[in-house]
Amino acid sequence: MSWFSAITLLPYGAGRTLELKTSYYPSSLKVAPCHNLTAAIMEATDYAEIPEVTILLLGDSEVGKSTFLSRLTLGVNSHDLDEPLPPYSLPLLRDLDQPFIFDIRLFNRPYRFRFFDTASPTNYTLLHPDFVVLCFDIGRQETLESCKERWYKMVEMQFNVDEKAPVMLLGLKRDLRTGWRDGDGDDGGMKEGVVPQLGLRVAQEMRCDRYAECSALTGELCSQVLEDVARTAARTTTEKGGRTEGTTCSVM
């Protein structure tokens, strides 16, 4: 079993394929935390030349950012992107260990992704992210409203003054959409979660580059979201950048 065996994902352009390779795990997984890299691979690769991409996850507390990052550490099954991931026991990540670093092989070259969120021991307001992911809880509409009224404004004023960094709106806890929760209204009624049309509309209003949803708990759509995040992050290292053209918001 080769350490660098290629895994073909989805068609990408005419006559091309998108490849995502692991630096550590066998071919059953495609993403590896860099602290687990083997010595042989570290010796075989000049890491000084690997492009690094800083990815910042923003959003209210308890929307699922940490669970999403935990899911990423497990990697992705390669046999079928349309099947949900098995219900692994998700690892517990420590905020003190941020940034969470992943070495990815994509477009036939290596990249290093550095993930931060708002619980980072380094004040997140001091970071200079190359890619920002706005996260909300699909089961709570107010967290989507907070992305628009609070977090996106922070991105525009502080992190993306030059408008070069792509912005993704990511709905988490997709498994809770079918449920209902106690409403916050005076009548004590029930309130529905965020439907895809509403999430996409808000993403378009904020001029986000991408919109996606997943459930880190069940693994639903996590493979596709990881691919979307990896592809967008890699493109930030190119001259063209990771922004979408015009006012288009791409849907995963």
What residue spans define the domains of the chain? 8-251
Q: Which residues of 125-164 are buried (b: 16+ CB within 10 A; e: fewer)?
A: eebebbbbbbbbbbbbbebbebbbeebbeebeeebbeeee
d(CA 122, CA 133): 18
Position 103 scores a pLDDT of 87
Helix (H, G, I), strand (E, B) or coil at 137: strand
Which residues lie closer than 8 Å to 181 by C-beta, 6 or more apart? Answer: 139, 140, 190, 191, 193
Position 85 scores a pLDDT of 55
Position 84 scores a pLDDT of 55
Output the six-digit token pair for 49. Answer: 């030349």
CATH 3.40.50.300 fits 8-251, yes or no: yes
Please list the pLDDT of the chain residue by residue as tens digits (252 residues): 222 222 222 223 333 334 444 333 322 334 444 444 333 334 445 555 899 999 999 999 999 999 999 988 876 544 445 555 555 578 888 889 999 998 888 888 899 999 999 999 989 999 999 999 999 999 999 999 999 999 999 999 999 878 899 999 999 999 988 555 555 544 455 557 899 999 999 999 999 999 999 999 888 899 899 999 999 999 999 988 888 776 667 675
Position 176 scores a pLDDT of 86
Phi first, then psi, for residue 134 (nearest 5°) are -90, 120
d(CA 141, CA 32): 33
d(CA 102, CA 132): 16
d(CA 198, CA 82): 24
Per the document, the length of the chain is: 252
pTM across the whole model = 0.76
